[in-house]
Structure 1
Amino acid sequence: MTIEFHTWNTPNGRKISVALEEMGLPYKVIPVNISKGEQMAPAFLEISPNNKIPAIVDPDGPGGQRVSVFESGAILLYLGEKTGKFLPKPLIERIPVLEWLMWQMGGFGPMPGQVHHFIALENEQERAYGLKRFMAETRRLYGVLDRRLATHEFVAGELSVADFAILGWAWRHPRHKVELSDFPHVGRWYEALMARPAVKRGMEAKLD
């Protein structure tokens, strides 16, 4: 059955479109235009209580019941559990996937997101302060990722939902003023992922 994918063309939306394509799950995009405030609509609030995209509705959830899931990290874990793909079963193998997924959710997303915000400000003083603070942290996080990928093909060993989560934000590296040539291992990983046919489909899917 087809998953309803409520989203917009953002890094968090791209995480899920890539995962859906890699997992071979049929889905229908239901655009939620966040620039027009559609995420505040009561109908969307019912499936995403935090008024944030993305969210999914799976008509064939556990026990064949209809289920909704909000928060991109939770969606990735749900889809991994549902399909048995990109989320290892043994706990010892799952630990690094969870670690790097949480790393993305807690840092490599919120920090670049702040860069996006401050770049758009017209007040030069506020803009300069914000960019100094959040660009430094964003580059530090790229460095953490680069060191990890220096010894790992993918962040958790095998390709996993953690890679999809991080890719959604690495995709926006031009917007947060980061040259991947400064982080060669991230660049290698990024190019390898973007060359995958399913990732290409996920990145090209019309989400708005």
Structure 2
Amino acid sequence: MVLLRQLERDMQQFQRYYKSGTCTIQNSLARGLTSTNTINHKFSFSKPKSKFESKQLAAKKHSEAERRRRMRINGQYATLRDVLPNLVKMDKATVLAETVRQVRELRKTVSDLEAVCRGSSSTKDCVFPGEANRLSLENCDNHQGLVKVTFSCEDRPGLISAVARTLRSMKGRVVKFEMVTLGGRTKNVLWVRGLSGGNEGIVMLRRALKVVIDRPILPGFSKKSYLT
């Protein structure tokens, strides 16, 4: 009897152990399947693109780059159409040919200007304005009472009017006047007669003109807008 009860208890323990082991195995299998599904799911997102997809993407990028390049070229042609003077035809071939012609003319002009400046006896005799402000006054030896005034400075509205007022205040009268403007700068040569005060008057005129030519451009004034 005792042996029978002991055998029943052993069988119950064995059954409990077997059931718990089965649950553990099932849970492990379930977790394994879930983990496998997760790995497969992640792997599907990181799968490399096919050759067709790669070629399609490269073609799209190339097409977009080509579109941007054409837009830049068309924009540059539009700028040339606005800048070139007396342009009759607007097609690209005409615009390009006219641009080449204008550049060649400008190069020739620059060469001519450089030759003129090199041929001058000194820098101050160059007929074109320099980069720095300059002012000189000298008596003309062959003409009694005639003063030659030469100055270079930034070109701006009202410059000549201010110079004229300064000369009138010194009783001076302009008998000859030359002006060259290039690149936003101007060079002016004036022959003035009738200055009062002799040499002292020339010194006073120099001081007054220096104030005029060194006067800064007003903040609201754009040299580019004035030139155009």
Normalised to the residue count of structure 1, the TM-score between the two structures is 0.23
Q: Which has the higher contact order (CA 8 A, sep 6+)?
A: 1
Which one has the bigger strand percentage? Answer: 2
TM-score, normalised by the number of residues in structure 2: 0.22
